[in-house]
Each structure stands twice: as C-alpha cells, then as structure tokens.
Structure 1
C-alpha cells in the first residue's frame, strides 16, 4: 500500500459519509469520518466501526451488527480508500457513492440458543464472575452498572456488534410519577405511585402481576434521578391518550422526555450514557458473543451456575458466583415461538413491519424454558401506527376520521392510546379475516397529525393501493370491498352526531367533525415495536419454574421477564421505565449476595 491520506465516500443511513484513511508503513494508521448524524443509532455503530478498524489496523473486519447499514458505509469507504492506495481504484471512483469496493462486506451470523441442559461437571470454565448478564439493552446495561457499582465483578455478553438492542430504536421516553420534572412541566402537582399503579392495574385487565407493577411505579422517580446523574437532561413531560374505560382520576402526564429524545431512534442517546457508566464502573462487555446455554449445578439440581457463550466460533464456559441475568428481550423475531405462544406477534412477523432489533429472537426465553422456567404475560404485541401517530400522546390532536372493519362498521373510540387502538384493529382483522380502514374526508387533510397536507402527498400510497379515493361513500365502499349499506350508514351516523360535536356510540371528543367529500380510505398498517411475552419472575426478578418456585441463580429483567404488561401496551414509556427499574434492582440485589 502507498503511504498517504485517502478520501472515499459511501451512502450512510442518514446521508453521505466521507472517510479519510491514513496509510503509513503498509498499514492503516488512522480512519476518520465526517457526515455522521449525531444522536442516532448510526452514530453509535459508525463509531464502533471506526474503533474496530483503528484497533485492528485493517479493513478485513466484519460489519457491526445492530445497525449494519451505517457501519457498512464506514467500512465500504475505508476499503475504497485502501484500494486507492493499492492502485485498484481511482480517487474519482472512491468518491463516487455508487462505486463499491472490490471486496465484499462480511456480516457475522450467530448460533441459536441450545434448548437442553448442560451440567457443571461437564464443562471447563474459562473464567468466573460474580454476575453474568446476557443482553445490553436498557435492562441489561442498568443491571451491569448497578452490579459493578456495588462491588460485583461483572461481565456482559452482547449478541450483536454494538450495545442497546431494541432500546436504541425507541424514543427513549420513560414513565414516572411524582418527579420534580412532572411538577415543572405539567399541571399534575400531586401525582403519586399509587395512582400510577392503579392505572396500570386497570389497563392490565387482570393479566398483570400487581407486585411487579407496584415495585416499578414506586421506584420510577428514582430511575429518572438515576438517569439524570448519568447526564440526561429532561425537557418535557406529557401524557398518553386516555383509555376509554379507565378511571380518569388515575390519569396524569407521566411520560418523561430528555434532550434529543422523543423521536424514533433516540433511545441511543440514553444507551450511550449508560455505556459510558458501565465502562467507568468496570463492567467487561463482550460483543458478537451470544449466550447460548445455561449451566446447571447437576442433573438433580437445576441451580444456574454459569453460561456457555459462542465467541469467534468457539464455545466457552463462564462461571457465575452470584447469578445470571437474562436480558435478551422477548420473542420479537422468533416466528416459531410466536406461532406457538403469541398469535398477535406471529401475525406481525408474517405480515407487518417490525421496528425492533432482528436479534431479538427470544434467546433468554428459550434458555429459561430449557431450565424449567414458566412463562408469564404471554398475551399480545406492542403495535403502533407511526404514519398517522394515532393515539401517540395527549399533545397530538386527533383529526376528523373514523375506523371501520371489513364489514364497514365502526368498532372503537379512535381518540385513545395506540396500544388499545391497535389491539382493536388486530381483533377485527383476525376475527373477520379482512383489513381495517381509516375513513376521512377532504376537510381532514392538513389537520392534527394528518401526514397528508395535499393530494400530492397521497400519490405514493395511492399507487401502492393503501390509500383509496372516491367522490361518494358508496363508490369508496366498492373500492375497498366493504358492505355499501353498512359504510353508508356508518358515515351518516357519524355526520349526524358530528354536526352536534358528539359521539354517543363510543364517547369520542376530539376530531368529531362532519366528513366532506371526496372521501378517502387508508388501510391500517400498524407497526410492531415488540411482543408481550416473558419468563415468570417474582419481585426480586428471580425466574420461577412452572410451580412458581425460584430457580436458584437465574434472573430475568425487561422484556425477557413477563407479567408486568397486559394484553396491549398501556402507554409510551412503560417498557423502558419498567426495564430500567428491573435492571437496576436486580443488579443491586445480586451485588449484595
């Protein structure tokens, strides 16, 4: 290779990345990049790739899984820079984003968990730690931080090439009551954990563990303070859309938003802070290393004493002196398990867009079940309509529209939180075997969170067949294949009461306006942000067997633990709030053992 500084470009997720590669003495001395979008998942993965190249002094490295597009862009550009130094590519070609390097990008593949037991006497331990954690999302990293800060020798194994998992792709918002930020930003000056718990219990519809939720809501304000200490700054607190049947006295604005948060992908801001805290506390983090098996004490004693991981195509055993924490999320991308356990998640895997990490394949749940663990909270999915932001927050005004099922009949109060709304969609679509539709009129365009500001904005969805337009409601019914009489009657009833600004059928209060022709129908296409299924745990996060007995040495947290979210997602900030609490709790408790 020729010495020098070589510039190349590649298309990243958020824009073009420019990489300069410095070659000296026939090896890479340094790689730098410009154009990385700040506060994004791409920034974390790109920086991980730069670190990987600089540490190895080579571009013969794998892509960073977890955000492969961004890391691959850095690697492509660095490879092109090297090829310019080798005379295999011109400088002009290197700066052309349409030109790829001659060598391909390698993406690691990971083994699946092993669903059978292995015993302590059958393995040779490579090393031992007090606490071993599988997974580096919100619950895994918080457990690692607290365990290490409280004196436990801690190691965290992450399946992907970067930390964060699905937490990275979240909006980074967290529910809590009684905080100083709630008092600063909202009118709710006397909110408390008891009201928060009461709301969760009501929305859980009898499918949640009160002890887990009581523990979470009582500690939620401490979680906000804990994150503040890590460097997050809070800028807003808002509320979810009210659920039609809930006791309004228990409602409050509780969803906390930090700087650069509140948008998809903003969870990475929190993960970056947590990663630094974990490293500062002395946590050892090993990437591209899935935990594939739990180690039992003996054939007659299912106490968990360690784990087997796969690292660089080798199986290695590690001993856990105090406990193993499973924090590998739920069965989000596991089609086989979802089909068996969670029909709603299975439907989403087969037909809908999944916005979670593709490495969320239920590894911790599979390993727990192999150890005799029971399941809890296996009941549904967390879905949302990100196009129309339907039911996202009480700060977003619901525009004039209504939903109809495959028969042309209305079935829900559309001005409610998205989890409740998408469950109603799922039930109607599954029961009737037909799509559900959002019906709106010309006067709806441009109102509230309506993404269409003009008919020009509609062209793509019309061409794709998801949006249909008609001059009359009868014509619209024919185009979307629903009963003409039913849809006509639904519109007439809606317009009749909308003229009086009321909705006696479902009690809706926002966006109750007469719909004017021409009419539009949009096929609901809810996106999935996670499944609702996990291992059965007690308040100490000990994993329980099928007879509710603790499996010694085994713990689960976050979405790997079940029983604290009901059949639908009750509101933004619940999953992160609960996961952070459970991680912090189990980390501290294990360190004290």
Structure 2
C-alpha cells in the first residue's frame, strides 16, 4: 500500500452547541487529513496548530445552518495530492484525544455534482433528516452540469419506442465485452439492473428524454449488443434547458424542495475517524473557517474524478496526462481527485485506474461528408476512423510517441473549416488560419506531407494507394469502416494531429455493490461511501460510451444515499 501522512487531530471548542442534539459522552476520534495545500511539504511527525481564535469563532457564528445554496466567503481551494502519494513516509495516523463538533448532521456529502445531489435526495427519501452537501466550487453541478447529461439504460419506455427486445442482461454483456475482462462484473450488473429505475427517478424529478442513440463500432464487442441505449435529456420544450444543465437543474430543484442544505466554496480538508476506524465526520472550510462537521450516520464521497490533477494523472493514468498535455479538457477545474485522496487517507483501495473519457478533435472519416484517414508515424492506419471515440483515443495513445494524424485531400478541405473543426468549434473557411498557425500541414504531394511530419513517406504512399483501391471496390477490409469511403487523390494534401477533447479520468475508490468504500484488503471502511466517478471498478481500459458516467452518478448515488441513511447513529453522536 502507498504510504500516507496524517495530520494530528485537535480539540475544538464548540461554537454551535445549539446545533447539536443531545448530551452524549465524548468518544475518541482521529483526524485524518490530506492537508490540501501543503501535502508535498509534509514530513512524518509534523503537527499543524489549528486553534480557533475568538474572531474566527464569531465568524463561525455568523454562518447559519439553514439557507439553501448560500455561498461561503471566497476561498481559494488549492490543488492536492492524497497522502498516500507521498514518498518516504509511513502509514501511521496520530489519534486525537477528542473532537468537539462545530456542527452535527445526519449525513455529510462531499461534492455537489450529479452524484452528490442524487445521494442527498436518496438519503432524505430513506429517512435521514439533516443532510449537508459540501461543495468546493461556487455552484452546484460539477462536470455533470457541463456534460451532455446522457444516461445509458435498457428497457425504458423511451428506448422501447425505438428498439424492441433489449434487456439489462444484454446491456451488461455489452459493458463486460467493452471492459475486456478488467471491470468488476458485480458493479456493472448493479448499474445495468438499476438503469431503468435511474431513468424513472430522473423523470420523477422533472426530466424527460427526447431521443435515444447508440455507440459507434467497437471491434471487440458483438455488433448485435450495440443498440441505442443512450438517452438524451431535456427539461421540457424548445426553450428549456438541455443536456447536463437540464439534468442538474431538476436535481437542484428537488434538493431545495426536500430541505437539503448546501455549503458552497467549502472544501473538505480531511476525514475524522473513531476508535473503530469508522468515518464519523469531516473537517472543512466553512465561511473561511476550519470546522469539524459530525456525520451521525456517515459520509458520502461524490467529488468526481482526478481529471485535472497532474500529479495523480502521472501516478495513475498516463493517457489522461497525455490528453491534458496535448489536447483540451472540458471538466470543471474543481475535479482534482479530492474524494479519492480523502479515501486514500483512511486506507481505501483503488480500482479501475488508467482509462480516460477521450474524444478526438479530428472529424476526418467520422461522417459521410468528411473523408480522410488516420495514420501513425509509420504512415499506417491503425483503427476504424468512424469507431467509438474512446476506443480510438486509446489506440492513438498506443501509437509511437502517442502521435497520429488525420490525412485528407483537397476534396475534403473543400467541405469547409466550419464542418472540419468539429468539437473545437470550427476552423477558418479555407483553413488558412490553421495552416498559418501550424495546426494543419499542407503539401502538394503525399511525399512532401510526410517529410513535413517526419513520417515514413513510402509507407504513407502505400497506405493511401491501398485505401484508394479498397474504397474503389466499396469496402474497407482492414477495419470495416462504412462511412466516407472516398479516395484521397486530389492534391494538395493536408494533415492535422489527432488530439483529445478530454471529458475526464476513469477509476477511483474501490467500492462494493452497496457503495461502501473498501480498504486494500477488501473490507468495508465503516460509514464511508462513494458514488459517481469518485468510485472505480466499473470501467475497463477505455470509456464504454456516453451516458455511463451519468448512470453511475444516479445508480450509485441512490444506493449510497439509501445505505448511509439506513445506518444507526454512531455511538456518542450528538
């Protein structure tokens, strides 16, 4: 197990005694912190003095407990690395004599994105009275809010209008084949068996779905399993919110109606454990003040992945790091792996690390009107250009120097930059701006184009000649492509690097089907749960298609909320 460094706990005089319920004995606690701003400088045995001044006590008193969606004072949340990544330190944690809580809640949820909102609603539904969401950012929603918001499911009424005979069992088999043997089958079964209920849950909150579509070809997955399952969300009519914004909007409205409390700009600094290794609360910044918040029933980690954390990417996902360095990332900046680091700090295991949600910026070969082929430094094709986006990006990463180019001719360039720019928002009409910037290379011959790219010119010529011969016969025998089977023969010729529009990391805390966080030996850490992309183990070497992440936020969020609400209050809770 990687080593960890824990910050000593300290006794805090309660400034919110009126918020605490009952007069219980004071159990022994342990403060396990990731020390988010100083973790790289930490050394074994160091102590952080954190006495609360009278001025801070007064400031804490001004932060009321009610008031949905209020923002705390501005606070910069530093990027962090979990203590388990620190080299040369031990795994010991320093126990505190006692902690007196500043606030007490039934359930504390770390992260206010899709998974956190669903977990809060589920906890309320199953009997929790006081539920608090701690969100590091200035607004709720996380990456879910800026995503497409699609959700995968089999057997829904929306899907049945287009496809007959699909079942959760077939959906599971699709996920298993896409995972190539490295995902947890029990977690995938939990997702697919609860997917229809997840859609029904979202509909009950006011969402609807306006279409269903399928995943592009994956050569390792049976074609008959790849039916439309990806549901497109909408909040209503033409002027209503669409996509992830619609998905999050109905959840926020429901949370407000149910009395879920939210503290914004409130990063969590660490977890508090009792003498039985159970997680009984958190330390967080609330109103700019370090505060201990008790969770009588438990804590749910729902902070998303480590999408933008360079150090964690280097450690856990070289492809994610490459995609961030060479492409762009559409995830929210708050996705720094905080929940994963918090879990690591109390001994959690990890699962499913390494994959990414990579989407290629290049459009060549992906639509009927846009021809072209993708080649590597040797001038060879290596995939079906119209195939599933994440599968293709995994194979781009697998090429020499992780490099590939989309090669096309003047007939494709004549389609115009608006179409060719794809997800990047379009290029100049004649590509002149992109050529001038060096993004696109242009040459009169394939040999000159290869020389400009330091590519194997003879092999590129052979590849294009073979392609032209095959498409002349109306087929792609090498990879089975069916779209834009057009020759490349009209100079000048062009090439653009295939880089990623990254939509997030894959992998996280190891969980079971009850969403309990497990330690390295597979034992549950008491009262600690995870949901959404902070959890791992249900995705294989590449992301298996749009709607999987949102499905995990709804299914695992509902399970985590139900499970934590069903816990008996911790002994000595107030």
CA distance in 1, matches of 2:411, 2:181: 41
CA distance in structure 2 between the aligned counterparts of 1:264 and 1:358, rounded to whole angstroms: 23
Cα displacement (A) at 1:265 = 8.5
1:105-140 Cα distance to aligned partner (Å, 9 max, x none): x96302557748565743211122221100011111
Q: Which residue of 2 aligns with 1:486?
A: 459
Superposition deviation, residue 468 in structure 1: 1.6
**Which of 508, 528, 552 is the matching residue for 1:578?**
552
The question of whether the paired residues in 1 share the 8 Å contact of 2:362 and 2:406 is answered with no
- How has the CA–CA distance of structure 1 residues 130 and 64 changed in structure 2, closer, same or farther, with 3 Å as cutoff? closer
Secondary structure in 2 matching 1:433: helix
**What is the SS of the residue equivalent to 1:368?**
helix
Residue 531, structure 1, aligned to residue 489, structure 2: no
CA distance in 1, matches of 2:71, 2:374: 42
Structure 1 pair 434–288 and aligned structure 2 pair: CA distance change class (3 A):
closer
Provide, for residues 512-557 of structure 1, a one-character-per-residue CA deviation record: whole Å limited to 9, x for no partner.
Answer: 2212322211111212111112011100010111100100111111
Deviation at 1:490, TM superposition (A): 0.7
Aligned residue for 2:341, secondary structure, equals: helix
1:271 aligned to 238, 248, 257, which one? 248
| Aligned mates of 1:132, 1:527 — CA distance in 2 | 33
Q: How many angstroms apart in 2 are the aligned matches of 1:571 and 1:398?
A: 24
- Cα displacement (A) at 1:398: 7.3
Q: Does 1:414 align with 2:385?
A: yes
Whole-angstrom distance in 1 between the partners of 2:274 and 2:232: 44
Distance between the aligned counterparts of 1:107 and 1:351, measured in 2?
32
For residues 405 and 252 of structure 1, the distance between their equivalents in structure 2, rounded to whole angstroms, comes to 31
Could you tell me how far apart the structure 1 residues matched to 2:153 and 2:324 are?
A: 31
Distance between the aligned counterparts of 2:361 and 2:404, measured in 1?
Answer: 16
Query: Are residues 331 and 107 of structure 1, via their aligned partners in 2, closer, same or farther at CA, if it must alter by over 3 Å?
Result: same
Partner of 1:230: 205
- Taking the TM superposition and a 5 Å limit, the aligned residue runs for 1:98-177 are 108-111=75-78, 112=80, 115=83, 117=93, 119=95, 121-152=97-128, 153-177=130-154
Is the 1:138–1:576 contact (alpha carbons within 8 Å) kept by the matching residues of 2?
yes
- What is residue 55 of structure 2 aligned with on the other side? none
2:305 aligned counterpart, secondary structure:
coil
Query: In the alignment, is residue 207 of structure 1 matched against residue 182 of structure 2?
Result: yes
Q: Deviations over 1:477-530 (max 9, x none)?
A: 122221110111110010010100111112222222212322211111212111
SS in structure 1 of the partner of residue 506 of structure 2: strand
When residues 398 and 559 of structure 1 are mapped into structure 2, their CA distance, relative to the original with a 3 A threshold, is farther
* C-alpha distance 277-120 of structure 1, shift in aligned 2 (>3 A): farther
* Match 2:408 to one of 437, 440, 445: 440
Secondary structure, counterpart of 1:125 in structure 2 = coil
Q: Structure 1 residues 132-141 or 226-235, which shifts more?
A: 226-235
| 1:531-550 mapped onto 2 (5 Å cutoff) | 531-550=505-524
- Report matched runs for 1:222-261 at 5 Å: 222-259=197-234
CA pair 117-449 structure 1, distance change in 2 beyond 3 A: farther
TM-score, L = length of structure 2: 0.79
Indicate the structure whose relative CO is greater, using CA pairs within 8 Å and at least 6 residues apart. 2
Q: Quote the Cα distance in structure 2 between the aligned partners of 1:578 and 1:425.
A: 27
- The 1:398–1:417 alpha-carbon spacing in structure 2 relative to 1, beyond 3 Å, is farther
- 2:305 matches 1:338: no
Cα offset for 1:459?
2.0
Q: How far, CA to CA, are the matches of 1:379 and 1:329 in structure 2?
A: 15
Counterpart of 1:564?
538
Question: Contact 1:120 / 1:297 at 8 angstroms: preserved in 2?
Answer: no
Root-mean-square deviation (CA, aligned residues, Å) is 2.7
Structure 2: runs of 5 or more not aligned: 1-62, 64-69, 84-91, 568-574
Give the secondary structure class of the aligned counterpart of 1:421.
helix
Q: Are the equivalent residues in 1 in contact too, given 2:365–2:483 (CA < 8 A)? A: no
TM superposition shift of 1:264: 12
In 2, Cα distance between the equivalents of 1:354 and 1:123? 40
TM-score, normalization by structure 1: 0.77
Q: Which deviates more, 438-447 or 539-548? A: 438-447
SS in structure 2 of the partner of residue 171 of structure 1: coil
Partner of 2:298: 323
Q: Does 1:385 align with 2:353?
A: no
CA distance in 2, matches of 1:339, 1:207: 21
- Secondary structure of residue in 1 paired with 2:393: helix
Change (3 A) 1:64 1:155: closer
Task: From the superposition, tell whether residues 245 and 397 of structure 1 become closer, same or farther in structure 2 (CA, over 3 Å).
Answer: farther
Distance 1:117 1:308, change over 3 A: farther
CA distance in 1 between counterparts of 2:141 and 2:347 reads 28
Deviation at 1:346, TM superposition (A): 2.0
